[in-house]
């Protein structure tokens, strides 16, 4: 075992004798990184089940390479597996098991591992290995019900600053209090988590501050994909100041990213704080008000520098939509059509499922492409019918050829393409929306 900074690495034989060494490393690292007892035990359970599952599949002498690292707001367990393929279906939200089914019992360890963590990423590592990244987030208290606390004081004069941790918590509290949930990402409901995510660089935050009045507004952002910045806000707490403060915050944000490798800025959470001339529309999704009335949800974009152009993958059924979007947005793209040609593929697919309860939204993304994609999508939609969600999205990455092949599965399964997000993944992201949620109405 080696230690570097806030990372522990371990190479351990896939042998039952070494299971305690592996789980002990995960447990002690998690506690050292500040993880609470309950979250630590769940990550240890995931590690134990994964290791136990792999033992009978490994060849004699094969070892597992593991790395446990501190993510400030989370602990990440990175595992390089010498075994492929795994029975991937156990990683899906829809996975179920029966004590009377021998294959289900064999997959139970993977199912328990997937259920014990908050995020899971899967990738191939040539020649035959696989890489799993399991993330367990720390527990944070949620912001009290909006309505408590003093009102912010109107700004007399202000400066745009990078707020300190206490100012970040004040900003988050005011945003939750004075803005509708449709315009606020869930992270603002957990001020301490937002502070830690800013400290580790996953979020950037700006605030408008008057030395005599305190915080009068602010905004946040995070990097996404190959060259995209997603912004949240700007949020300004007094209507009379909304235009001037919002422009100052946006100018400061764009100025910061104009000096980086970022190519564009996107805003998905409402538009009330964004001056009309700052961004253009990529299109819209549909969300439903409590009355059931469909309401367009614009998605805004601003190009920061000249688009370099790129090669993207598309299924023939999606090509016309992509060409129309790229022409409208003046994006140079060379579209390569891809279709299955009888090549061997994994029997099972894996979709990640991200719930955003405060907005009634679920976003599906492909983690692993397999031959059962249509059945897997149908199982997910059956499951989601019983959930309190009004918007189901599916994101495809045009930079990954295997994902492009999923387009007809989605279109035959009730989804329609709504918009393209430039540079949102390895390539661009195509966002599909389930039609029964109001898309196209």
CATH assignment of the domain containing 266: 3.40.630.30
CA gap 253, 251 in Å, rounded:
5
Claim to verify: residue 133 and residue 171 sit in the same structural domain? no
Do residues 129 and 173 share a domain? no
Q: Which of these three, 70, 104, 137, is where a domain ends? A: 137
Both 331 and 411 in a single domain? yes
Residues 6+ apart with CB under 8 A from 151: none
pTM for the model: 0.87
User: Do 121 and 188 fall into the same domain?
Assistant: no
Query: Do 173 and 91 belong to one domain?
Result: no
Residue 87 in any domain: the answer is yes
What's the pLDDT tens digit per position in 64-113?
Answer: 999 999 999 999 999 988 766 566 666 676 665 455 545 555 566 677 88
Looking at the structure, do residues 191 and 272 belong to the same domain, yes or no? yes
Same domain, yes or no: 266 and 328: no
334-345 confidence digits (pLDDT tens): 999 998 777 777
Average predicted confidence (pLDDT) for the chain: 86
Q: Which of 278, 302, 335 is the last residue in one of the domains?
A: 278
Sheet of 415-421, strands arranged across: 350-356, 361-368, 391-397, 429-434, 415-421
Neighbours of 61 (CB within 10 A): 9
Q: How many domains does the chain have?
A: 3
Same domain for 343 and 273, yes or no, is no
Reading the block at residue 50, the tokens are: 């994964």
Question: Is the domain of 253 the same as that of 222?
Answer: yes
The predicted structure's pLDDT at residue 441: 34
Residue 227 located in a structural domain: yes
Q: How many CB atoms lie within 10 A of CB 220?
A: 26
Residue 294 falls inside a structural domain: no
Residue entry with tokens 């099972």:
348
Given a cut of 50, the residues of the chain with pLDDT beneath it are: 97, 101, 437-441
In a domain, 303, yes or no: no
What integer pLDDT is reported at residue 437 of this predicted model? 44
142 domain-assigned: no
User: What is d(CA 357, CA 434) in angstroms, rounded to the nearest whole number?
Assistant: 17
Q: CA-to-CA distance for 412 and 428, rounded, in angstroms?
A: 22
Q: Which three-class secondary structure string do you get for the chain?
A: CEEECCEEEEEEECCHHHHHHHHHHHHHHHHHCCCCHHHHHHHHHHHHHHHHHHHHHCCCCCEEEEEEEECCCEEEEEEEECCCCCCHHHHCCCCCCCCCCHHHHHHHHHHHHHHCCCEEEEEEECCCEEEEEEEEECCCCCCCCECECCCCCCCCCCEEECCCHHHHHHHHHHHHHHCCHHHCCHHHHCHHHHHHHHHCCCCEEEEEEECCCEEEEEEEEEEECCCEEEEEEEEECCHHHHHHHHHHHHHHHHHHHHCCCCCEEEECCCCCCCCHHHCEEEEEEEEECCCCCEEEEEEEEEECCCCCCEEEEECHHHHHHHHHHHHHHCCCEEEEECCCCCCCCCCCCEEEEEEEHHHCEEEEEEEECCCCHHHHHHHHHHHHCCCCCCEEEEEEECCCHHHHCCHHHHHHCCEEEEEEECCCCCCCEEEEEEHHHCCCC
CATH number at residue 327: 3.40.630
**What pLDDT score does 439 carry?**
40
Percent of the chain residues past pLDDT 90, beyond the cut: 55
| Beta strands 214-224 and 204-210, pairing class | antiparallel
Are residues 267 and 176 part of one domain? yes
What is the pLDDT at residue 149? 59
Which CATH number characterizes residue 19's domain?
3.30.565.10
Are 354 and 253 members of one domain? no
Whether residue 52 is contained in a domain is answered as yes
167 lies in the same domain as 264 = yes
Residue 97: domain span: 7-137
CA distance 396 to 365: 7
């Amino acid at each position: 075992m080696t230690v570097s900074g806030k990372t522990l690495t371990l190479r351990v034989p896939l042998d039952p004798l070494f299971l305690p060494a592996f789980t002990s490393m995960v447990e002690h690292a998690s506690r050292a990184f500040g993880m609470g007892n309950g979250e630590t035990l769940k990550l240890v359970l995931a590690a134990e089940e994964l290791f136990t599952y792999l033992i009978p599949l490994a060849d004699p002498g094969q070892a597992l390479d593991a790395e446990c690292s501190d993510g400030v707001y989370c602990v990440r367990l990175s595992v390089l597996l010498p075994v492929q393929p795994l029975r991937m279906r156990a990683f899906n939200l829809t996975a179920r098991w029966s004590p009377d089914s021998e294959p289900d019992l064999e997959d139970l360890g993977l199912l328990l591992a997937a259920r014990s963590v908050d995020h899971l990423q899967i990738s191939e590592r040539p020649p035959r290995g696989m890489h799993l990244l399991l993330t367990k987030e720390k527990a944070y208290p949620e912001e009290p019900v909006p309505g408590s606390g003093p009102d912010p004081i109107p700004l007399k004069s202000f400066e745009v600053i990078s707020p300190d941790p206490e100012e970040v918590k004040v900003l988050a509290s005011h945003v939750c209090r004075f803005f509708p949930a449709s315009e606020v990402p869930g992270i603002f409901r957990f001020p301490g988590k937002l502070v830690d995510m800013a400290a580790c660089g996953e979020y950037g935050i700006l605030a408008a501050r008057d030395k005599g009045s305190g915080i009068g507004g602010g905004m946040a952002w995070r990097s996404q994909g190959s060259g995209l910045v997603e912004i949240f806000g700007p949020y300004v707490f007094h209507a009379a100041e909304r235009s001037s403060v919002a422009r100052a915050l946006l100018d400061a944000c764009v100025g910061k990213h104009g000096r980086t490798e970022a190519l564009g800025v996107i805003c998905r959470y409402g538009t009330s704080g964004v001056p009309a001339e700052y961004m253009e529309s990529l299109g819209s999704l549909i969300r439903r008000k409590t009355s059931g009335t469909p309401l367009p949800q614009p998605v805004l974009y601003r190009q920061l520098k000249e688009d370099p152009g790129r090669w993207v993958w598309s299924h023939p059924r999606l090509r016309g939509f992509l060409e129309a979007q790229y022409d409208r947005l003046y994006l140079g793209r060379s579209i390569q059509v891809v279709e299955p040609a009888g090549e061997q593929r994994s029997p099972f697919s894996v979709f990640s499922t991200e719930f955003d309860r405060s907005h009634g939204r679920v976003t599906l993304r492909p983690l692993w492409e397999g031959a059962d994609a249509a059945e897997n999508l149908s199982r997910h939609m059956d499951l989601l019918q019983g959930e309190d969600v009004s918007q189901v999205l599916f994101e495809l990455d045009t930079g990954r050829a295997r994902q492009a092949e999923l387009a007809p599965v989605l279109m035959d399964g009730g989804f329609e393409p709504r918009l393209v997000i430039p540079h949102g993944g390895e390539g661009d992201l195509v966002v599909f929306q389930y039609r029964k949620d109001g898309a196209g109405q």
